[in-house]
Structure 1
Amino acid sequence: MTTKPDILRYTAFSDDPAGGNPAGVVLDASGVGDADMLAIAAGLGYSETAFLTPPPAGLGGEPGRAFTIRYFSPKAEVPFCGHATVATAVALGERLGPGDLVFATPVGAVPVTVTEEGGSSRATLTTVEPHTEDIADADLTEALAALNWPATDLDPALPPRIAYAGARHLVLGAATRERLADLAYDFPRLEALMRRLDLTTVQLVWRASEFVFHVRDPFPVGGVVEDPATGAAAGAFGAYAREQGLVGEDATLTLHQGEDMGRPGVLTVGLRAGDRRIRVTGTATRIV
């Protein structure tokens, strides 16, 4: 790395710099190698930092509004990160103006639309094709043991599944808000299971009402205890909710995350009939 890149700091899914999920954003990472990207991410200490370089041929999008994006946690590169995508899109929108962007991510092309509403910038990303899959009984038992959750604390209306919308997440439903609030898990034990199953987070969910959920996301594989607001998991949960019949084909879900960490954020998840992809919307604001 010949020159130090300009590193921006944004928080996603909140208008308050003290809320939501902070992300590092490097709008020009040309000439920054993998080791330097990892070092920058580790130095910032946020759950992810995004790095932009020119787009590959054939990506599409308007000239000057298409990019390659990579994501690094403090410990490793991750395939997709929703909150860093939202943060990056808002940072670009402030410089290029509202409109459509497209990112070439390690998991595929992700279009994002940036809008301005009431003085706040909002970004809506559209995930890659999602899916869900079963989790083996032995793996579920190990996950619950690592979390220190008895099986009776699971909500039978939210069956355990692995959901994907760019990254893999284990969805576990909490029977009560109190169960969700009490998070004290075995970090190395859960990390080992997640690495074996190729999981990015474990998404813990409590259903408050028909379309409102509270969520928490342990993230030991990224080197942090908990992610304050997880856009990739929100997209995966949208696919999960649809496939489990929790909501209809057209629905808008509100996910509250970060409250138990003192960093409240709000993620909006949109489902559309005839389109399996999930829309995840949130605000972002600069951390000065």
Structure 2
Amino acid sequence: MTDGRLYRLAAFPVGDQGGNPAGVWIGASLPDPAYMQRIANEVGYSETAFVAPESGDVRTIRYFSPRAEVSFCGHATIAAAVAIGHRDGAGRYRFSSLVGDVDVEVGEQSGRFVASLTSVEPRHEPASVALIKEALALLGWRQEELDPSIPIAKAYAGAWHLVIAAGSEGRLANLDYAFDAMTTLMLRENLTTLQLVWRERADLIHSRNPFPVGGVVEDPATGAAAAALGGYLRDAGLLQGEARLEIRQGEVMGRPSLLVVDVPASGGIKVSGAAIDIRQGS
């Protein structure tokens, strides 16, 4: 079944600039995986979401990078929610994904649609000494250049990410890694992106996200990683109670992105942002 409409949106822009492009295919039922993979490859964005109605406000959603299916993608979720908002109106929807149900809310703000997602239950685990050593070597980063207040860890909120906190803005700004070797490492460790961060202040974090397993050198906005980071900081006791964080990403790439992360006392992490139209086609 291939009848559907393909939308192209940029999620988490700053005003009308930047954001992370995502394809959003919406149809009466999901096509077969080979077709979805082909469309994602042709679209060429880091992720394309495929959405079909299930019942009521429930939508089935699947995510594909140009190379493979991905269990969950935050920026494509926001893009899909905004696309549905344009088609079906503002409101609350439930996305049935491979990792579980993800609640989304779509509304209008300052003349544009904005959306939020609430992730599945986050979790984290310490990174092994061997993983830390190998990842830092491939990045060309040294242990003394890191922020010791945010230990390196694997974090999950629908997909696994390796969180590495730089100790300075300059360290984060200088990113040059071995693409093929990093791909091998991340596939072995079941990592979707590296969540490289620098905490400017308690409520403002700058992020860069290598995504070589999806065939992308760097992702300009990564909602799944933002949720995973919020969950890690909370559950590791690195936040003081409930918090709202701003994550700035894509700045060095010339695609500035803003992700607002609300961290409750327990449960899933809420990630919010806008999505702007790039182009529509059938």
Name the TM-score, length of structure 1 as normaliser. Answer: 0.93
Equivalence for 1:20: 19
Q: Give matches, 1:114-125, under 5 Å.
A: 114-125=106-117
Structure 1: runs of 5+ lacking an equivalent: 58-62
Equivalence for 1:287: 278
Q: Give matches, 1:1-288, under 5 Å.
A: 3=2, 5-14=4-13, 18-28=17-27, 30=29, 32-55=31-54, 63=56, 65-273=57-265, 275-288=266-279
Structure 2 CA distance, aligned partners of 1:98 and 1:30?
Answer: 22
Q: Does the 8 Å contact 1:25/1:88 carry over to 2?
A: yes
The CA deviation string for residues 50-76 of structure 1, in whole angstroms up to 9 with x for no partner, is: 001232x7xxxxx2x211000000010
Q: Secondary structure at the match of 2:267?
A: strand
Structure 2 CA distance, aligned partners of 1:230 and 1:17?
Answer: 18
The CA deviation string for residues 228-266 of structure 1, in whole angstroms up to 9 with x for no partner, is: 100000000001111232322311000000001000010
**By how many angstroms is 1:185 displaced?**
0.3
Amino acid at match of 2:263: L
Amino acid at match of 1:286: D
**By how many angstroms is 1:276 displaced?**
2.2
Distance 1:15 1:260, change over 3 A: closer
Q: Secondary structure at the match of 2:201?
A: coil
**By how many angstroms is 1:110 displaced?**
0.3
**By how many angstroms is 1:17 displaced?**
5.7
**By how many angstroms is 1:18 displaced?**
4.5
Distance 1:248 1:29, change over 3 A: farther
Moved over 3 A (4+): 15-18
Structure 1 CA distance, aligned partners of 2:6 and 2:231?
Answer: 33
Structure 2: runs of 5+ lacking an equivalent: none
Distance 1:213 1:46, change over 3 A: same
**By how many angstroms is 1:165 displaced?**
0.4
Structure 1 CA distance, aligned partners of 2:37 and 2:241?
Answer: 39
Q: CA RMSD in A?
A: 1.4
Q: Does the 8 Å contact 1:29/1:51 carry over to 2?
A: no
Q: Does the 8 Å contact 2:3/2:28 carry over to 1?
A: no
Structure 2 CA distance, aligned partners of 1:257 and 1:271?
Answer: 18
Name the TM-score, length of structure 2 as normaliser. Answer: 0.95
Give the strand-richer structure, 1 or 2. 2
Amino acid at match of 1:89: A
Structure 2 CA distance, aligned partners of 1:129 and 1:121?
Answer: 26
Structure 2 CA distance, aligned partners of 1:94 and 1:248?
Answer: 37
